[in-house]
Protein backbone atom coordinates (compact mmCIF):
# COMPACT_ATOMS: atom_id res chain seq x y z
CA UNK A 1 0.00 0.00 0.00
CA UNK A 2 1.59 3.30 -1.01
CA UNK A 3 1.76 5.98 1.69
CA UNK A 4 1.68 9.67 0.83
CA UNK A 5 2.28 12.74 2.99
CA UNK A 6 1.23 16.39 2.95
CA UNK A 7 3.11 19.51 3.99
CA UNK A 8 0.37 19.94 6.62
CA UNK A 9 1.62 16.71 8.26
CA UNK A 10 -1.16 14.34 7.27
CA UNK A 11 -0.48 10.90 5.83
CA UNK A 12 -2.64 8.69 3.70
CA UNK A 13 -2.33 5.10 2.62
CA UNK A 14 -4.18 4.09 -0.52
CA UNK A 15 -5.76 0.76 -1.32
CA UNK A 16 -7.75 0.78 -4.54
CA UNK A 17 -9.86 3.96 -4.44
CA UNK A 18 -9.97 4.20 -0.62
CA UNK A 19 -7.44 6.25 1.34
CA UNK A 20 -6.92 6.02 5.09
CA UNK A 21 -5.91 9.40 6.58
CA UNK A 22 -4.16 10.36 9.81
CA UNK A 23 -1.56 12.70 11.26
CA UNK A 24 2.16 12.00 11.09
CA UNK A 25 4.65 11.29 13.88
CA UNK A 26 5.96 14.84 13.37
CA UNK A 27 2.48 16.32 13.89
CA UNK A 28 1.74 14.36 17.04
CA UNK A 29 5.20 15.22 18.42
CA UNK A 30 4.56 18.92 17.82
CA UNK A 31 1.07 18.76 19.34
CA UNK A 32 1.93 16.80 22.46
CA UNK A 33 -0.66 14.68 24.25
CA UNK A 34 -3.81 14.51 22.09
CA UNK A 35 -6.95 14.85 24.22
CA UNK A 36 -9.75 15.29 21.64
CA UNK A 37 -10.44 14.69 17.96
CA UNK A 38 -13.29 16.06 15.87
CA UNK A 39 -13.84 13.71 12.95
CA UNK A 40 -15.84 14.41 9.77
CA UNK A 41 -19.27 12.92 9.17
CA UNK A 42 -19.49 9.70 7.18
CA UNK A 43 -20.91 10.51 3.74
CA UNK A 44 -19.58 14.07 3.71
CA UNK A 45 -17.83 15.19 0.52
CA UNK A 46 -14.73 17.25 1.26
CA UNK A 47 -12.47 18.97 -1.26
CA UNK A 48 -8.69 18.73 -1.16
CA UNK A 49 -7.11 21.15 1.36
CA UNK A 50 -10.43 21.85 3.13
CA UNK A 51 -10.60 21.30 6.89
CA UNK A 52 -11.78 17.75 7.53
CA UNK A 53 -11.42 17.67 11.30
CA UNK A 54 -9.66 19.04 14.35
CA UNK A 55 -7.16 17.55 16.76
CA UNK A 56 -6.72 19.10 20.19
CA UNK A 57 -3.85 18.51 22.57
CA UNK A 58 -2.75 19.85 25.93
CA UNK A 59 -0.66 22.40 23.98
CA UNK A 60 -2.80 23.46 21.02
CA UNK A 61 -5.57 22.73 18.56
CA UNK A 62 -4.85 22.07 14.90
CA UNK A 63 -6.97 21.56 11.81
CA UNK A 64 -6.72 18.30 9.91
CA UNK A 65 -6.81 19.05 6.19
CA UNK A 66 -8.19 16.78 3.50
CA UNK A 67 -5.18 15.51 1.52
CA UNK A 68 -7.34 14.57 -1.50
CA UNK A 69 -10.91 15.27 -2.53
CA UNK A 70 -13.47 12.60 -1.81
CA UNK A 71 -16.31 11.19 0.25
CA UNK A 72 -15.74 10.14 3.85
CA UNK A 73 -16.60 6.44 4.09
CA UNK A 74 -15.58 5.66 7.68
CA UNK A 75 -14.26 7.35 10.82
CA UNK A 76 -12.14 5.81 13.55
CA UNK A 77 -14.53 5.52 16.50
CA UNK A 78 -11.73 3.98 18.58
CA UNK A 79 -9.77 7.22 18.16
CA UNK A 80 -12.80 9.27 19.21
CA UNK A 81 -13.02 7.12 22.36
CA UNK A 82 -9.24 7.16 22.99
CA UNK A 83 -7.60 10.21 21.33
CA UNK A 84 -4.20 9.17 22.72
CA UNK A 85 -4.03 6.59 19.89
CA UNK A 86 -2.97 9.54 17.70
CA UNK A 87 0.18 9.72 19.86
CA UNK A 88 0.87 6.06 20.54
CA UNK A 89 0.23 4.73 17.01
CA UNK A 90 -0.29 7.63 14.57
CA UNK A 91 0.36 5.54 11.45
CA UNK A 92 -1.70 2.57 12.65
CA UNK A 93 -4.53 2.42 15.19
CA UNK A 94 -4.53 6.24 15.41
CA UNK A 95 -5.89 6.79 11.87
CA UNK A 96 -8.63 9.44 11.58
CA UNK A 97 -10.91 8.60 8.65
CA UNK A 98 -11.21 6.83 5.31
CA UNK A 99 -12.16 8.56 2.09
CA UNK A 100 -13.20 7.36 -1.36
CA UNK A 101 -10.99 9.22 -3.81
CA UNK A 102 -12.79 11.38 -6.33
CA UNK A 103 -9.60 12.30 -8.24
CA UNK A 104 -6.69 9.87 -7.87
CA UNK A 105 -4.59 12.29 -9.93
CA UNK A 106 -4.32 14.49 -6.82
CA UNK A 107 -2.00 11.89 -5.30
CA UNK A 108 0.80 12.98 -7.65
CA UNK A 109 1.07 16.34 -5.84
CA UNK A 110 1.70 14.67 -2.46
CA UNK A 111 5.06 13.76 -0.94
CA UNK A 112 6.59 10.31 -0.68
CA UNK A 113 8.29 9.24 2.55
CA UNK A 114 11.75 10.46 1.52
CA UNK A 115 10.48 13.90 0.47
CA UNK A 116 8.32 14.22 3.60
CA UNK A 117 11.20 13.26 5.91
CA UNK A 118 13.38 15.93 4.30
CA UNK A 119 10.53 18.48 4.50
CA UNK A 120 9.72 17.73 8.16
CA UNK A 121 13.38 18.05 9.20
CA UNK A 122 13.14 21.71 8.17
CA UNK A 123 9.62 22.30 9.57
pTM of the model: 0.95
Q: For the domain 3-102, what is the CATH code?
A: 2.40.50.100
* pLDDT, tens digit (0-9, with 9 covering 90-100), for 66-117: 999 999 999 999 999 999 999 999 999 999 999 999 999 999 999 999 999 9
Strands 97-101, 45-46: pairing is unpaired
Give the integer Cα–Cα distance in Å for 52 and 38: 9
The predicted structure's pLDDT at residue 84: 96
Amino acid sequence: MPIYYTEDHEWLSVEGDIATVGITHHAQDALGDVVFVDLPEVGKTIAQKEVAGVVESVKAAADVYMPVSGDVTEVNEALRADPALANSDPLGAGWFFKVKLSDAGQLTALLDETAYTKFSENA
